[in-house]
Structure 1
Amino acid sequence: MMANDPGTRLPAGAKPVRMIPVLGQVPAGIPEVKEQDIIDYVALPDAPDNSFALVVQGESMTGSNIQHGDYVIFVPKADIKPGDVVVALNEFNAAMVKQYMLKDGQPWLISTNPAFPSFQVNGAYRVVGKVVDVVRRIKV
């Protein structure tokens, strides 16, 4: 019997998991993700139905304890508020993970590592999703 068979019983206290697609890049058409955009899957309990994952590249968010190689789980087109960590695209549709803040009423994408720049949200940058979880795999 396979674990995903309808007759399979989970141990007491176990939560079912959802397979979250890991995107190689964030397509401009989120949430219209194509199969070729998916590079892997990560299994998570209690993940939102419409969530996706990205692998973090770089050290710009270490002030929020988001490290190079972590998976960020995000929900496209979710409501955001100042202080939320978001996925944004630049003018070349390259994805970035930043903290969304308001400065003098203007939206900004903040790098929480002060060694990296922050960006004002304008025509070159747009928020496409809200980060709802961070997953770190530790190899032993």
Structure 2
Amino acid sequence: MCQRVMTPAIDRGKKTMDRISPHTVRTMMKISEEAEYSFRMATESAHKGDYHRALEQIEKVISTDPHLAMAWHEKANCLDELGRCDEALSSYDTAIKLDPHHAEAWFNKGLTLQKMGKEKEAYQCMNRGVDLALGR
């Protein structure tokens, strides 16, 4: 399983990631009730540590609307927690392609890259995420 490696500076940046971005709120308003329910179930399962179940739920969301960056981001988080880092990176990339201003996706991609030993790329992604979260 991949382990998140955090430094004090990264911890401060992570705290900025805990806010729900305005883009995510706008996107949530546009999705179907079924997709919203599946997304909520996925995040609840992930919060409980049941990443396999969360992944099943998030796949339902993606099959309903494959253009939701937040769904791809959640999928990436689950894959990362399951130790499937290469797949997680691919899902983070999809989230970022769909929403280049998705701060959490940039930051978490950096954390995954860091765990894979790709320090320079990790640093660039985490910095991009923090900059976006701070409106820079």
Q: TM-score, normalised by structure 1?
A: 0.22
User: Which structure has more strand as a fraction of its residues?
Assistant: 1
Larger Cα-atom Rg = 1
Q: TM-score, normalised by structure 2?
A: 0.22
Higher relative contact order (CA 8 A, sep 6+): 2
